[in-house]
Amino acid sequence: MSPALQGLTTIAVGVGGCVAYFYFSNVILDRVIYPPRGPNAGRNINRAGQIRPWLFLLPALVALGLYLAYPVFETLRLSLTERVPVLGQPGKFRYVWVGLDNYRQMTSEAKFWEAMRNNMMWLFVVPAAATAFGLLAAQLTDRIRWGTIAKSLIFMPMAISFVGAAVIFKLVYEMRGADQEQIGVLNAIWLQFDGGFGSVLVLKIIPVIILLAFGGIVSWVGWLVLRPLLAARRARGIWGYVLRPAVAIFAVWMLWLSLQSVVGLWRFELAYGTPQAWISLPFWNNFFLMVVLIWIQTGFAMVILSAAIRGIPEDTIEAAIVDGANPFQIFFQIKVPQIAGTIVVVWTTITITVLKVFDIVFAMTNGQWQTQVLSNYMYEKLFVTADWGVGSASAMVIMILVSPILVWNVINARKEMR
Amino acid sequence: MATLDLKTISKSFGEAKVLHDIDLAIRDKEFVVFVGPSGCGKSTLLRIIAGLEEATKGQIVIDGMDVSNAHPVERGISMVFQSYALYPHLSVYENIAFPLRVARLEKDDLDRRVRRAAEILQLTDKLMLRPGQLSGGQRQRVAIGRSIVREPKIFLFDEPLSNLDAALRGDMRVELSQLHKNLDATMVYVTHDQVEAMTMADRIVVLNGGRVEQFGSPMELYHHPNNKFVAGFIGQPNMNFVPAKVKAISAKGLTVVLDAGPTMVLPVETEGVAVGDAVEVGIRPEDVAAGDTLDVEIRVLERLGGIAIAYGKLACGTNFCASLDGDTAVAEGTTIKLAVAPADAHVFDAAGRVLRRRAAPALVA
């Protein structure tokens, strides 16, 4: 049978099977198990009504159980066992219980901690940047005539696969010898800098201003989060006493990092005139990789946030204008708070994507030059070195990191839908 | 202390011209109501005064200052929106305080002014709630509170009561009238409801098709409408228009023959009409009494308690509405005889212009 015919048959059998399942299970429930007649007709109708939703949910529940719930437990089991080949029988394995040995081994590897650190950087930079750019694009494209075209262009990267995007950006970061013509856009731009005032302005002063602004914003946010505690208002349970100081400490740490970076950047001698191998520049190459995901996710953030911005009642904006608010106050004090729920949903959705990021790193560096991330680490352990124990352990780590964000995301998304 | 002068205000949206050379002079501390059917341009005119829309032509002068190109807040106006337009993410307190916050008022001053506004509007115990937790009437009061804290020269209201239920609307009408007296401010109020216009206004602007049909006190509009549109718009139930022909013109006025049969001598100025012209006689339902002039076939009788409103037809087929005594024995489906005092009747020429009545009640203030 030709593959096309096979495909069609599969579709017919699959769709037909679904329809048949829903139809006949319903018929059996209504006609055979709880027929709406006889002395208990009313009770039967009620019972059939209670069972029906489960009947319809059953295929989905089975599929989710088989492909989501079971693998979780199987991975947990694998992460606690070691796969030992059976002697004399190639391809046969025994699974030996080893407790937390796999986790111990994993945490003793420098590459794992590198992946953790990089993942954390991705986690903070990409969702923040993509959401911020998306919000900016949504707000600006709403107000111009060719906004729709701009929106389509910004949204387009969403249609490109991560690997495809990685290939595109690999070309952007491409390096050729100093005597050759640069085909990478970034190196072509880089060679325009000659160490003069313009270079200092663009490469030192502006980044320092951005870093200082970032430091200022995190300290401000930290202060806002901490302030209710200092004002000794009524206690607010766990959120008040644990999370608020934690966020504040984190803000201080980020401030410290940004100040450190300012000093580092200022003292750093830039190699003007020499083409750079961007994706092998330690530390900074992480950001070059992040750019790819930001480029893709900005479109997503923009589309969702643009719809949210349109949903803001026009009256509240006009009222703010009459009340004397300037455009910035209207944006930050009237519009953003009204779409805060959507911003959180977008942010957490991108965060989940980021925690799972694999393709970009795999295609661009495969974790070399200190760009390893957890998913790629897991892939390498599971499928390259065939270390099922450590691979599964790292998969569990990813799951544990994603779960709370996922729960929060679902809660917020449901709140938005109401 | 604020007068508001509109000078030849015109507004076009593309090809469509929605306001035609509007000239109005609104006095200090006056409560002026813009009233008219939907699409007459009243809201657009208000938005132009507020600075939310730009007039295509003309000037807005507040207190002698041309503010046509000024930002809303520089005009010294504040506005209450039909949908209240409260900020859903802010508490009542912050909603009211918002105009003061953006004006960077000092904390103590801000707190004092917010609390005073809340006191005036009986919102003191609601200050910490969110708008979503308030009833419609309370939200309306918050919106008013937000407009009064800044102590503007002129208050603008855009159909503020149309989202409230009938009982609450009545209460809020009284409250707004009191607020006007307490604040002693100039207020411009837009509504499509002529009851609100009649009850609250010092003067009413009747707008139709982007033009001012008449600008005057409520009773002036009621007794001396400039034209058929104003006559039909003001008064509840609406005025009846009975077609008639001019039979004779004399010193006593106009002798007309109603198409329904009877002849009436009406004491009006007769300038501009000739014998034989078609005119319309305007009769207010409440001016009708039992008599022998008009035969009305009653179709529907609405008993409101104190009065009963009878809807019927005249012999010529024209719809006719009469306000009768609440206990009237008239039955639906019967024909009754009614009459109207000639001095109470209005006459409109074929173009809809009024022939001024000679004897009309003295206007109350």
Amino acid at A357: V
Q: Which residues of A324-338 are buried (b: 16+ CB within 10 A; e: fewer)?
A: bbeeebbbebbbbeb
Q: Does B50 touch chain A (CB under 8 A)?
A: yes
Q: Do A315 and B150 touch (CB under 8 A)?
A: no
Q: Do B85 and A318 touch (CB under 8 A)?
A: yes
Please say if the pLDDT value at position A372 is more than 80.
yes
The mean-pLDDT minimum among A181-190, A206-215, B179-188 falls in: A181-190
- Measured between beta carbons, the chain A residues lying within 8 angstroms of B81 are 315, 318-319
Judge if B215 and B186 occupy the same domain: yes
Q: Do A313 and B83 touch (CB under 8 A)?
A: yes
Q: Do B72 and A322 touch (CB under 8 A)?
A: yes
**DSSP letters for A196-257:** SHHHHIIIIIHHHHHHHHHHHHHHHHHHHHHHHHHTT----HHIIIIIHHHHHHHHHHHHHH
User: For residue A29, what are its two tokens?
Assistant: 């429930």
Q: Does B89 touch chain A (CB under 8 A)?
A: yes
Asked whether residue B287 is assigned to any structural domain, the reply reads yes
Q: Do A318 and B103 touch (CB under 8 A)?
A: no
How many cross-chain Cβ pairs, A to B, lie less than 8 Å apart? 61
Q: Quote the pLDDT of residue A15.
A: 93
Judge if B222 and B247 occupy the same domain: no
Three-state DSSP state, B279: strand
Q: How confident is the model at residue A234 (pLDDT cuts 50, 70, 90)?
A: low
Asked whether residue B326 is assigned to any structural domain, the reply reads yes
- Closest approach of chain A CAs to the CA of B82, in angstroms? 9
- What's the pLDDT tens digit per position in A22-40? 899 888 888 888 877 777 7
CB B90 within 8 A of CB B102: no
Asked whether residue B193 is assigned to any structural domain, the reply reads yes
Judge if B320 and B277 occupy the same domain: yes
- Measured between beta carbons, the chain B residues lying within 8 angstroms of A316 are 85-88
Nearest CA in chain B to A327: B102
Please say if the pLDDT value at position A232 is more than 60.
no
Q: What is the mean pLDDT of residues B298-316?
A: 88
Judge if B198 and B81 occupy the same domain: yes
Three-state DSSP state, B343: helix
Opening angle at CA A196, ends A193 and A200, nearest 5 = 80
User: For residue B41, what are its two tokens?
Assistant: 């341009």
Q: Do B77 and A340 touch (CB under 8 A)?
A: no
**Average pLDDT score over chain B:** 86
Q: Does B103 touch chain A (CB under 8 A)?
A: yes
Q: How confident is the model at residue B32 (pLDDT cuts 50, 70, 90)?
A: very high
Tell me if the bond preceding A228 is cis, omega within 30° of 0.
Answer: no
Q: Quote the pLDDT of residue A235.
A: 53
Q: Quote the pLDDT of residue B1.
A: 63
Domain boundary among B217, B232, B247: B232
Asked whether residue B277 is assigned to any structural domain, the reply reads yes
Judge if B66 and B128 occupy the same domain: yes
Q: Does A271 touch chain B (CB under 8 A)?
A: no
Burial label, A239 (beta-carbon count in 10 A; 0-12, 13-18, 19+): exposed
Asked whether residue B364 is assigned to any structural domain, the reply reads no
**DSSP E strand stretches across B121-173:** 154-158
Q: Do A321 and B102 touch (CB under 8 A)?
A: no
CB A300 within 8 A of CB A134: yes
CB-CB: which of B52, B71, B78 is closest to A318? B52
Please say if the pLDDT value at position B101 is more than 80.
yes
Q: Quote the pLDDT of residue A241.
A: 72
Most confidently modeled of A186-200, A222-236, A245-259, A363-377? A245-259
The mean-pLDDT minimum among A52-66, A199-213, B83-97 falls in: A199-213
Q: What is the mean pLDDT of residues A292-311?
A: 89
Task: Please state, in angstroms and rounded to a whole number, the distance separating the CA atoms of residues A284 and A370.
Answer: 10
- What's the pLDDT tens digit per position in B281-296? 999 998 888 888 888 8
Q: Do A324 and B102 touch (CB under 8 A)?
A: yes
Q: What is the mean pLDDT of residues A266-294?
A: 77
Task: Please state, in angstroms and rounded to a whole number, the distance separating the CA atoms of residues A147 and B163.
Answer: 35
Burial label, A88 (beta-carbon count in 10 A; 0-12, 13-18, 19+): exposed
Domain that holds residue B154: 4-232
Q: Quote the pLDDT of residue A6.
A: 93
- Measured between beta carbons, the chain A residues lying within 8 angstroms of B89 are 337-338, 340
A181 or B364, which is more confident? A181
Q: How confident is the model at residue B311 (pLDDT cuts 50, 70, 90)?
A: very high
Judge if B34 and B145 occupy the same domain: yes
Count Cα neighbours of A205 within 13 Å in the Cβ-side half-sphere. Answer: 8
The whole-model pTM stands at 0.73
Q: What is the mean pLDDT of residues A232-247?
A: 67
Q: Quick one: how many helices (H) and strands (E) in chain A? A: 20, 2
- Measured between beta carbons, the chain B residues lying within 8 angstroms of A340 are 89
Please say if the pLDDT value at position A13 is more than 90.
yes
Q: Are strands B307-313 and B319-325 parallel, antiparallel or unpaired?
A: antiparallel
Q: Do A320 and B81 touch (CB under 8 A)?
A: no
Judge if B262 and B167 occupy the same domain: no
Q: Does B128 touch chain A (CB under 8 A)?
A: no
- What's the pLDDT tens digit per position in B239-266? 999 989 888 888 888 888 888 878 888 8
Task: Please state, in angstroms and rounded to a whole number, the distance separating the CA atoms of residues B41 and B61.
Answer: 19
Q: Does A338 touch chain B (CB under 8 A)?
A: yes
- Measured between beta carbons, the chain B residues lying within 8 angstroms of A331 are none
Judge if B90 and B195 occupy the same domain: yes
Q: Do A318 and B81 touch (CB under 8 A)?
A: yes
CB A215 within 8 A of CB A258: yes
**Which ipTM score applies to this complex?**
0.80
Please say if the pLDDT value at position B190 is more than 80.
yes
- What's the pLDDT tens digit per position in B138-185? 888 888 888 888 888 888 998 888 888 888 888 888 888 888 888 888
Q: Quote the pLDDT of residue A239.
A: 62
Residue B87 φ/ψ, nearest 5 degrees: -85, 110
The mean-pLDDT minimum among A240-254, A328-342, B101-115 falls in: A240-254
Q: Quote the pLDDT of residue A163.
A: 87
Q: How confident is the model at residue A89 (pLDDT cuts 50, 70, 90)?
A: confident
Please say if the pLDDT value at position A304 is more than 70.
yes
Judge if B94 and B216 occupy the same domain: yes
Task: Please state, in angstroms and rounded to a whole number, the distance separating the CA atoms of residues B363 and B365.
Answer: 6
Three-state DSSP state, A164: helix
Q: Quote the pLDDT of residue A233.
A: 53
Residue B206 φ/ψ, nearest 5 degrees: -95, 120
- Measured between beta carbons, the chain A residues lying within 8 angstroms of B50 are 322
Task: Please state, in angstroms and rounded to a whole number, the distance separating the CA atoms of residues A27 and A35.
Answer: 10
- Closest approach of chain A CAs to the CA of B153, in angstroms? 13
What whole-number percentage of chain A has pLDDT above 90? 5
Q: Quote the pLDDT of residue A8.
A: 93
Q: Do B102 and A329 touch (CB under 8 A)?
A: yes
Q: To which H or E segment does residue B214 belong?
A: strand B211-216
Q: Quote the pLDDT of residue A385.
A: 83
- Closest approach of chain B CAs to the CA of A335, in angstroms? 10
Burial label, B221 (beta-carbon count in 10 A; 0-12, 13-18, 19+): buried
List the CATH number of the domain containing B247.
2.40.50.100
**Average pLDDT score over chain A:** 83
User: For residue A349, what are its two tokens?
Assistant: 């959705």
Q: Do B98 and A326 touch (CB under 8 A)?
A: no
Task: Please state, in angstroms and rounded to a whole number, the distance separating the CA atoms of residues A341 and A297.
Answer: 18
Judge if B327 and B213 occupy the same domain: no
- According to CATH, the superfamily of the domain at A100-181+277-418 is MetI-like (1.10.3720.10)
Alpha helices by DSSP H, A108-205: 110-141, 147-155, 162-172, 185-190, 197-200
Count Cα neighbours of A201 within 13 Å in the Cβ-side half-sphere. Answer: 3
Task: Please state, in angstroms and rounded to a whole number, the distance separating the CA atoms of residues A244 and A230.
Answer: 11
Task: Please state, in angstroms and rounded to a whole number, the distance separating the CA atoms of residues A278 and A288.
Answer: 8
Domain boundary among B203, B232, B261: B232
Q: What is the mean pLDDT of residues B189-210?
A: 89
Three-state DSSP state, B28: coil
Count Cα neighbours of B211 within 13 Å in the Cβ-side half-sphere. Answer: 5
Q: Which of A322, A339, A343, A344 to mutate to test the interface with B (most CBs of B within 10 A)?
A: A322
Asked whether residue B63 is assigned to any structural domain, the reply reads yes
Site of tokens 């209450």 = B80
- The number of domains in chain B is 2
Closest by CA to A121, choosing from A262, A296, A286, A326, is A286
Q: How confident is the model at residue A240 (pLDDT cuts 50, 70, 90)?
A: low
> Which DSSP category does B353 fall into?
B
Q: Quote the pLDDT of residue A9.
A: 93
Q: How confident is the model at residue B363 (pLDDT cuts 50, 70, 90)?
A: low
Q: Do B81 and A324 touch (CB under 8 A)?
A: no
Q: Do B98 and A321 touch (CB under 8 A)?
A: no
Asked whether residue B363 is assigned to any structural domain, the reply reads no
Q: Do A324 and B52 touch (CB under 8 A)?
A: no
Asked whether residue B365 is assigned to any structural domain, the reply reads no
Judge if B39 and B172 occupy the same domain: yes
Domain boundary among B189, B207, B232: B232
Site of tokens 């809303």 = B72
